[in-house]
Chain A
């Protein structure tokens, strides 16, 4: 079941650099592990994490099995207008996840 969390301040001043954090519940199955019957567990990792701010892409990570399970990312964005942050991710199996957060920008 797709689950992700986005954290950023509820409000910021225009031009302020705000910290954005995302956490995605995902096993990031490497494709190198074996099940109890000795069969390889197929690889299934989050391959792309994208963050859009008022519709424009502000962060993109192309990820693989080298990123730890339950991927965590922290980055920065300049607060320029009140609006919405949308986090989207996709994995090898084609499953997608999405989470939103609002940001109020004051003058």
Chain B
């Protein structure tokens, strides 16, 4: 799992090869190099993936999250895996979920730790090899990870 240091170094080293349209920002997308490392440079399309997360989290130590991918989840057409990325956490990859046609529905709920207000992104890989993404912004007042108590 890449460390935060490697991640920041990667941003500095890469040219502005943006895989995703920048969201109202003139800076390179911080997710881009990390995404490239597991999509192998394949294009990632926005859509089909939604992240349901409270816009204001009660506490960053446990924020409920629902990931949904539009898919019939048949043997021929299903979601293979979903990777959840954090913009601000010390470890950017929160989790990777592996699914298949036996799930019937590409929907996962869990609770995440968030190190401050940030954007979360989920990248889904489908059985046909294509990648789709969705993201959500969360405001967190009491942060997890580095706020020791």
Binding site for B on A (CB under 8 A): 17, 28, 30, 32-34, 53, 56-69, 71-78, 80
Chain B minimum-CB-distance residue to A56: B102
Inter-chain residue pair count (beta carbon < 8 A):
99
Given A74-B109, A76-B104, CB of A60 within 8 Å of CB of B148: no
Given A32-B90, A65-B145, A66-B91, CB of A59 within 8 Å of CB of B111: no
Most buried by B among A53, A65, A71: A65
How many angstroms between the C-alpha atoms of A68 and B64 in the bound complex?
A: 9
B76 at the interface (CB under 8 A from A): no
A–B Cβ pairs within 8 angstroms, 14 of them: A32-B146, A58-B100, A59-B98, A59-B103, A61-B95, A66-B89, A66-B113, A69-B61, A69-B62, A72-B109, A72-B111, A75-B99, A75-B107, A75-B109
Binding site for A on B (CB under 8 A): 1, 61-63, 84, 86, 89-91, 93-105, 107-113, 144-146, 148
Given A30-B145, A75-B108, CB of A64 within 8 Å of CB of B61: no
Q: For residue A72, which residues in chain B have a CB less than 8 angstroms away from its CB?
A: 109-111
Given A30-B145, A60-B98, CB of A74 within 8 Å of CB of B1: no
Q: For residue B107, which residues in chain A have a CB less than 8 angstroms away from its CB?
A: 75-76
Q: Smallest distance from the beta carbon of A8 to chain B beta carbons, Å?
A: 13
How many angstroms between the C-alpha atoms of A70 and B50 in the bound complex?
A: 24
Interchain CB contact (< 8 A) of B111 among A34, A61, A68, A76: A68
Q: For residue B101, which residues in chain A have a CB less than 8 angstroms away from its CB?
A: 78
Given A32-B146, A34-B148, A73-B108, CB of A65 within 8 Å of CB of B113: yes
